[in-house]
Amino acid sequence: MQFDMTTLAARKRYKLLSSLVVPRPIAWVSTLSPEGIVNLAPYSFFNVMGHDPAIVALGILEHPEKPLKDTAHNITETGRFTVNLVTEALAAQMNQTATDLPYAESEADMAAIAMSPATANGVPGIAHSPVRLECQLMQTISTRTSQKIVLGEIVALHVEDALMLDSETARVDLEAHRPIARMGGAGLYCRTADRFSLARPDRKTQPLD
pLDDT band at 72 (very low <50, low <70, confident <90, very high): very high
Report if residue 109 sits inside a domain.
yes
Q: What is the CATH number of the domain that holds 69?
A: 2.30.110.10
Q: Which residue has the higher pLDDT, 206 or 161?
A: 161
Report if residue 161 sits inside a domain.
yes
**Whose CA is closest to 58, among 153, 162, 176, 189?**
153
**Alpha-carbon span 32 to 53, nearest angstrom:** 24
Report if residue 166 sits inside a domain.
yes
Q: How many structural domains are present in the chain?
A: 1
Span 181-192, pLDDT tens digits: 999 877 899 999
Supply the range of the domain harboring residue 136.
10-190
Span 115-171, pLDDT tens digits: 999 999 999 999 999 999 999 999 999 988 889 999 999 999 999 999 999 999 999
Question: What average pLDDT does the segment 100-108 reach?
Answer: 95
- Predicted local confidence at residue 204, as pLDDT: 64
Report if residue 180 sits inside a domain.
yes
Report if residue 197 sits inside a domain.
no
**Whose CA is closest to 61, among 34, 42, 47?**
42
Report if residue 91 sits inside a domain.
yes
